Structure formats: structure tokens, C-alpha cells
Structure 1
Amino acid sequence: MTAGPVDLTVNFLSPVEPTDLVKQSLPFSYFVLSAAPNDGKSHSVQIYSDISAEWVSGDDSLTVNWTTTTGSVVTHQVQLEQQTLFGEVSDRIQQGSAFYSTPSVTGLTYQTGQDEVVRAQFINSGKLLNTKDTQFRAVSDDWPVFALSHDLGTISAATPPVVVSIGHIRDPAVQYIIANGALQNRSLYFWSQFSSVQDAISSFLGDYSNALSRAQTFDSKVQTDASAISADYASIVALSVRQAFGATEITVSKTTSGSFDTSDVMMFMKEISSDGNVNTVDVIFPAWPIFLYTNPTLGKYLLLPLFEYQATGQYPNKWSVHDMGASYPKALGHNDGNDEPMPVEESGNMLIMTLSYIQKTNDQSLITSYFNLLDQWTQFLISDSLIPANQISTDDFAGSLANQTNLAIKGIYGDDSSWGLSYNMFADKLLGTNVFPQSVYDMQTAWYSTVANSLGVPLDTRHTYTKSDWEIWTSAIVSSNTVRDLFITAVRNYAADGKSSQPLARIADAAVCHNGAECICSKCDCAYHRWSK
């Protein structure tokens, strides 16, 4: 950003640390600022930033309180006065605290109070008052903010980075059902190394330069590997990495003595922007390749909550459960068996992910520990999947349908006029099972380009919309680079066209939202509109 003769550079870094469970489980991001003159002259520079109490609730009418601690690190902490354990409002957790921190250095000042008052103080004097507002109130009552100001002095060149951390911590993080209906509270993995939030924040702030170096190394590898396909594909992968990891939390349980049990690691994923389910099998499934690529063990940790729960015998159906709970972070299972019914979809997904994990790692523990479950799901697929009954698939917003080809593919139709993205054939290539002859891939490849539109290829003949995840999977199995790039470029263009409020939405509709007309779904609550949001 430019302020007259001075340029201000703001860097945001949310580290992805797939091989370090402690660092990956730290719920913090870096907010880093530096200034430089753009006219070759010296200038006096002060910078300001704040967060508001909106960080801690989905209901701005609720009362919050806050503290500011000083020392080697200055930290603003804000939280709801009355918290709801494991509760959410509008996808916002109603538990825990937000933390806004920076090392205590010369020129640092802080202040808490009404947004207009605190910001005016800085505008008028270039510094804050080191005062604390103690009138705790509702989020929307005079909008309390928690501010930091750094006086950089007179600068003649680019300044060293001013490092700020921002994040949100709650403990316990997840409630998980174990045998006999008992409930277990699980904590984020980083607690196994740090005894306090302050210790975790200090470590995180002090690690910035190393974290940046690791991030650059990781990004370089991702860029190099993805660019072997195309520049457009590399762009999609770069955008997808944070989106995939940002929805996950790595947890541990406690032993009977109260210490953290690092031998009991489980990873949980929230289904965001739809219904908030926990560890939805068909949401883990499209993200599965990134875990195989970065650290397959993370994939295992995602599957373990599902395996462990079903191994207790509390889930009554013969097929795989759809998810671990209806509302994150309550992983309470479905002892009544009334989870969203995707019997072929989820059973096939679990088998495919398990086998691909074993092929990648040679770790056979999932088979040895859960053989009975895997066999049970396999026998179900043998009896049910060749001609699937009327049921929903992962594309449940599209409604149920009998004899879905993609479901039949999961287990190994008669309408010659129907077609769809056969994305599930990706598993045939991933696993090297060679169930389908090359002629099938060639036939599909030739067909797709005849039905493509500006957003690639529609999901199936029933609709005009498509899904970004399944387009990318389909691109991986076609036998023509031209057709492959048709899919990839369509997804890239959709993500970059500026017409969606989401960074990389799953669903796109060329007929409704991308023809320059107003989206008719904005006036209703139809399935398409809910999912496209």
C-alpha cells in the first residue's frame, strides 16, 4: 500500500507444516509489516493495526471481555463472557479466545477501547496510550478494538519486518464419541509441547524467519511439481493448499494421569459452507490427494476417527458412516444410523483411501486393525453396487438417482443418452487396479470436449453446473493433454474471474452465474444456492 512518499508492505503467512504436528496444529497466522520510502528521501513512519471483538462470536449482541498482558510480548486477548462448549453460531465457534500479539520493542504502544476513539488517537498523535478499556460489553456496543502501534522512526530504506501473530485457541477442541457412548474431550496437538498459550505465542513469533524459509521451500516444491502439468494447474494447487489444510485440526487425547497422549492422534476436518459435518467421508475424499502428496500419515489421522468409532459397533448400518457428527466440533457419530445415506459412496471412498495409503506408505496397520470393517464394506459393495439403488452420492445437492455410473464405478447402467463426469475412475489410476480398459478412458476423453462450456464440463446431463474438485480429478485421467488443460484452465479461470465471493468455490454454473445476469438463486434457498455459497 502507498501512503504518499512511503510504501507499506503487508505479508500474511498461515504456515502449512504437514510434517510437523506441533507446528501444523498451532492455530496462528503471521501478519508482517515493513515500510520503505518511494522517493529516495527519509520519512518519519508510524503504523497501526487492530482486531475487533468480532473475532470471537457469530452473534455481535453477546458480551465479551478482554485482557492485555505486557512483558517480552504484548498480547491482547478477547473472549465471550459466557461461552458455549463446542457450540457454534453461523459457523463461528462460541468458545475460546482470540489472541493478537507482537514482541515488545522500542516504539511499540497499545490500547483497547471503542474503535473510533482508538483509531482517532493514533491518527492524531501517531501513537497509542498504553491504556486498557475495562468496560466490558457486547461486541457491537461501541465496537471494542485491540490495537497495536509501531513507531518505526525516521526511515531511509526498507525497514526490518514488524511481526504480529493472530489466532484463536480453544481447549478442549473436539468432543469425540468412544466406546459405550462415552464422550472424550480432545485437545489440539500443540498442547503436548507448550504449557501455556503465552509460551506457544512466544515460540511462534520467534520462529517467523524460519517459518518463512520453510514456507518458501514448501511453496517452491509445490510450484515445481505442479508446473510440470501447467502454469494454470500450479495456480490452482497454490490456492488449494491452504484451503485444504485450513479446514483441519490435529488433536490428542489425555491419559488417565492427565498428560497428553501423543500416541493417540486424530485429525478432524470441518465441512464448511454447507452443513458443518465432522470428517465427512466424501469431503475428505476429494482432498485426499494433497495428504498423500504432503504427508500420507495425516490422511491416516483423518480416517482414524471414522474407523475407531465404527469399530466400537455403535453404528448400526452395514455400510460406512457418512460423517463423524452433524455439527463440528462435536464428533458424536450416528448411533441411530440416520446419517446422510451414501452407502456406496462412502464405503467405496473408505476402501479406496485405505488402499492408497497403504500403497504409499507400506503401513498396513489400518488393514490389520480394521479388517472386519473393511471386509464388511467390501461385501456390501459386492452385493449392492453393480446396479446401485436409488440413493445420493457425494453430489447430494443434485438429488438421488438410481443406477449412477459413478457409484457403480466405486464397486467394481442402461440409459444411452445420459452422461456425467466419471471422476471416480481416478481411483482406478491412483490404485493401479486397471479395472477399466484404456478404450474407456479414450472414449470419455473424446466426449468431454463436445459438451464443454466456459466452466469446463457439466457434472451430468441433469444440470448445467459443475464442480471444481471433480473437474480436476477428471483432468487427471483423460488421455489427451488438450482435454486435460480444458478442465484445468476452466477451473483456474473460474477461481480468478472475480465473480464469486469465495476463494475457490466447489460449484460453478455457467448458465446461471456467469452469463452476466443476476444470480436468480440469491433470492431463494434452493440446494444450488446453498452449496454454491
Structure 2
Amino acid sequence: MQKQFTTDTTRLLLNYYGLKIRFGQDPENQLCTDDFAGHWAHNANLSVKAIMGVAGYSEMAHMLGLDDVAEKYAGIAKKMAVKWEEMANEGDHYRLAFDRENTWSQKYNMIWDKMWNLNLFPNNVISKEVNYYLTKQNRYGLPLDSRKDYTKSDWIMWIAAMSPDQNTFEKFIIPLYKYINETTSRVPISDWHETKTGKMTGFKARSVIGGYWMKVLIDKVQNKQ
């Protein structure tokens, strides 16, 4: 059914990914799901999302036997990833926005590069980011970015799933466990909380908590490969 759906919508998808190629490398004025601290253009994580979308189109084309199309878009995604690394590079980590020096953010959209074993991003980008995040954690988790101390716990789980081993994975999970266990906010799990106080910032009992299962998904997918 999935393959038939993809076949029936190939032309529509082609138009969509054409837009990703045109505008996704350096998003000029696009909204982001993490705009709580204000909207910034040139969002590096949003650019990663576009790059992985192009790579995803390549993977779907490969599933349909359209190998020439798959090769074309895989090449485009790789070139975009290489350019991304150059644009976002801040030495020991990568920027929140391409034009903002001395910033950082969770690049959780890179999880799909690991999930699909594509290795699009050069120079150990994921390893560099994960190592940097470990230096930025507070008692109750990794902040969403350099602007505020609050975080989104579902994205932390995605970041944790990007870890190279179980030990590193647990370094991200233990602060999150402490938040859930020690928070004084007596509501169903809030996915938006303060990493220093452990208090709820907003939201409760949302379906995004499904993102907590990212490690289970990536292990399942990769064990089939």
C-alpha cells in the first residue's frame, strides 16, 4: 500500500521537493516548531529538515525502481549537506541560525541521517553536535537552544537516539528521568519544561510524547537492514 501511494503521488511529491531544494538550503522567513523564543530566519535545523526531505524523496524513488531519479536527488541532498556544514560551522558545534555567531541548537532532524544510514553530513557533524550537547545540559535536561533554559523533551529523546552508544544515550536520558520523577508540576507529562527548575513551561499530555520512542524505532529499523 505504501509503494502504491508513493507511485500515485510521485508528481505531487516532485513539485514539493523542488520547493525544498529551492528554499530549504537557507530558509529565509519560514516558521519553525521551536519558535518559542522568537522567530529567526536562516534556521539551521530547519535546513536539515529540508535536506533530509530531499534525501527521503531519493529513498522513495529507489523503492519504486526509479534509480536515475534516486541517484539525482541523493546527489542533491549530499551537496546540500556539505554546504550546510560550511554555513553552520562554529568550530566545536553548529549554529542555531546561519547568520548568528555564538549560538547553538538541538539538530534533532539529523536523526533521519542516522536512521537511514545515509551519512550525508560530512566531518562527523552528528558526533560533534552530540559531544557539544553534553557540555550544555542542566539538571533536568538539554535546553532547546542557546536562547533559553527550557526544552522540548521529545526532541531530547531524538538527540539521545543520535548517540553512538548506550552510555552516551543514558547521559541524555537520566536528566530527563529526573525531570519526570522530581517535577513539582502535577500534570500529565509536559513536553515543554525548564531544565534548571524542572517545572512545566507549557503543554501537557500531548501526542508528541510518542517521540520518546525514537530509540525503539531506530533500533527496529536498523536491525532490519
TM-score (normalised: structure 2): 0.63
Cross-structure match for 2:24: 385
How far residue 365 of structure 1 moved from its aligned partner, in angstroms, is 2.0
> 2: CA distance between counterparts of 1:399 and 1:415?
14
State how far apart, in whole Å, the 2-side matches of 1:503 and 1:530 are: 11
Alignment counterpart, residue 44 of structure 2, candidates 398, 401, 405? 405
Between the aligned partners of 2:165 and 2:103, the Cα distance in structure 1 is 22
Going from structure 1 to structure 2, the CA distance change for 1:383 and 1:487 (only over 3 Å counts) comes to: same
Task: Tell me which of 123, 134, 137 is aligned to 1:452.
Answer: 137
Give the corresponding residue for 2:110: 425
How far the C-alpha of 1:481 sits from its partner, in A, is: 3.5
Asked if structure 2 preserves the Cα contact closer than 8 Å seen for 1:455 and 1:510, the reply is yes
Matched, 1:394 2:33: yes
List structure 1 segments (4+ residues) > 6 angstroms apart after TM superposition. none
Which of 431, 455, 461 aligns to 2:146? It is 461
Q: For residues 498 and 418 of structure 1, do their structure 2 counterparts lie closer, same or farther at Cα, with a shift above 3 Å needed?
A: closer
Distance 1:398 1:372, change over 3 A: farther
Amino acid at match of 1:461: S
* Distance in 2, Cα, partners of 1:498 & 1:414: 36
Structure 2 unpaired stretches of 5+: 52-97, 206-225
Which residue pairs with 1:375 in the alignment? 14
Query: What whole-Å deviation, never above 9, does each CA across 1:331-388 have from its counterpart, x for those lacking one?
Result: xxxxxxxxxxxxxxxxxxxxxxxxxxxxxxx831221122222112201110001111
SS at match of 2:25: coil
- 2-side partners of 1:456 and 1:377: how far apart? 35
Determine what percentage of the aligned residue pairs are the same residue.
Answer: 31
Contact 2:187 2:204 in 1 (8 A): no
1:478, distance to aligned residue in structure 2 (A): 2.1
Indicate the SS of the match to 2:2.
Answer: coil
Q: Report the structure, 1 or 2, having the larger strand content.
A: 1
**Which residue identity lines up with residue 383 of structure 1 in the other structure?**
R
Q: Cα RMSD (Å) of the superposition?
A: 2.3
1:122-156 alpha-carbon deviations (Å, 9 max, x no partner): xxxxxxxxxxxxxxxxxxxxxxxxxxxxxxxxxxx
Indicate which of 185, 195, 204 corresponds to 1:500: 185
2:129 is aligned with what amino acid? Q
Indicate if the aligned counterparts of 2:160 and 2:170 stay in contact, CA closer than 8 A: yes
Return closer, same or farther for 1:414/1:372 CA change in 2, 3 Å cut-off. Answer: same
Matched, 1:479 2:164: yes
Q: Contact 1:456 / 1:486 at 8 angstroms: preserved in 2?
A: no
Summarize the alignment of residues 30-429 of structure 1 with structure 2, pairs less than 5 Å apart.
363-412=2-51, 413-429=98-114
Q: CA deviation at 1:440?
A: 1.0
- Corresponding residue SS for 2:135: coil
Matched, 1:436 2:102: no
CA distance in 2, matches of 1:398, 1:363: 38
Describe the shift of the 1:378–1:384 C-alpha distance in structure 2 as closer, same or farther (beyond 3 A). Answer: same
Of structures 1 and 2, the larger Rg is shown by 1
Paired residue type of 1:369 = D
How many correspondences in the alignment? 159
TM-score, scaled relative to structure 1: 0.28
Go from structure 1 to structure 2 and tell me whether the alpha carbon gap of 1:420 and 1:532 turns closer, same or farther (over 3 Å shift). Answer: farther
Task: Tell me if structure 2 keeps the 8 A contact 1:478–1:484.
Answer: yes
CA contact (8 A) 1:441 1:479 kept: no
Letter in 2 for 1:458: P
Measured after TM superposition, the shift of residue 503 of structure 1 is 2.7
Q: Which has the higher relative contact order, 1 or 2, with Cα contacts under 8 A spaced 6 or more apart?
A: 2
Partners of 1:366 and 1:474 lie apart in 2 by 30
Distance (Å, rounded) in 1 between the aligned partners of 2:181 and 2:122 = 36
Report if aligned partners of 1:495, 1:503 keep a CA contact under 8 Å in 2.
no
1:464 to 1:488, Cα distance in 2 relative to 1, 3 A:
same
CA contact (8 A) 1:475 1:487 kept: yes
Q: Which runs of 5+ in 1 are unaligned?
A: 1-361, 520-527
Change over 3 Å in CA distance of 1:477–1:411 after alignment to 2:
same
Separation in 1, partners of 2:10, 2:37: 33
Q: How big is the shift at 1:458?
A: 0.5
Higher helix share: 2
Distance 1:481 1:400 in 2: 35
- Deviation digits for residues 14-58 of structure 1 (CA, Å, limit 9, x no counterpart): xxxxxxxxxxxxxxxxxxxxxxxxxxxxxxxxxxxxxxxxxxxxx
